[in-house]
């Protein structure tokens, strides 16, 4: 199993930049459509109780919540789109912060003159 994962990782890293980023986006969106709603539902069950589907108090399970999540995405609801794009945007933010950190560390490194005698 780990050998197959290692081969897949090498193939992913060997892709040109644009196809690799499109694969990353696809995986993040797949995560946002499958595992993220499941995590949201479990957290809601634990902290808030049953999922109330409407103001009359109609309850629903995970399927009802997932259906409402997809309907919110398709209707253009800002909150649903934040949840949908959140993992990908978080990944972009982490990458940006890491790049900024690398840039700052490289910039702060003292540049010595190799022609100077040692003290």
Give the pLDDT confidence of 71-110 residue by residue, as tens digits: 999 999 999 999 999 999 999 999 999 999 888 777 665 6
pLDDT at 57: 73
Mean pLDDT calculated for residue range 22-26: 93
Backbone angles phi, psi at 23, to 5 degrees: -65, -45
Task: Categorize the per-residue pLDDT at 51 as very low, low, confident or very high, splitting at 50, 70 and 90.
Answer: confident
Task: Categorize the per-residue pLDDT at 21 as very low, low, confident or very high, splitting at 50, 70 and 90.
Answer: very high
The neighbouring-strand residues paired with 51 are 60
CA angle, corner 84, sides to 87 and 5, nearest 5? 45
Whether residue 115 has pLDDT greater than 70? no
What is the b/e burial string over 62-98, where b = at least 16 CB atoms within 10 angstroms of the residue's CB? eeebbebbeebbeeeeeebeebbbebbeeeeeeeeee
Q: Where are the domains of the chain?
A: 15-107
pLDDT at 87: 94
Whether residue 24 has pLDDT greater than 90? yes
Task: Categorize the per-residue pLDDT at 20 as very low, low, confident or very high, splitting at 50, 70 and 90.
Answer: very high
């Amino acid at each position: 199993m780990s050998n197959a994962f290692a081969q897949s990782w090498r193939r992913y890293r060997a892709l040109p930049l644009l196809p690799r980023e499109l694969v990353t986006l696809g995986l993040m969106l797949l995560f946002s459509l499958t595992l993220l709603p499941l995590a949201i539902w479990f957290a809601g069950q634990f902290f808030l109780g049953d999922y109330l589907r409407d103001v009359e108090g109609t309850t629903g399970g995970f399927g009802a919540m997932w259906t409402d999540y997809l309907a919110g995405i398709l209707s253009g609801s800002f909150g649903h789109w934040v949840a949908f794009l959140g993992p990908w945007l978080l990944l972009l933010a982490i990458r940006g912060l890491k790049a900024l950190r690398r840039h700052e560390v490289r910039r702060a490194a003292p540049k010595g003159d190799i022609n100077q005698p040692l003290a």
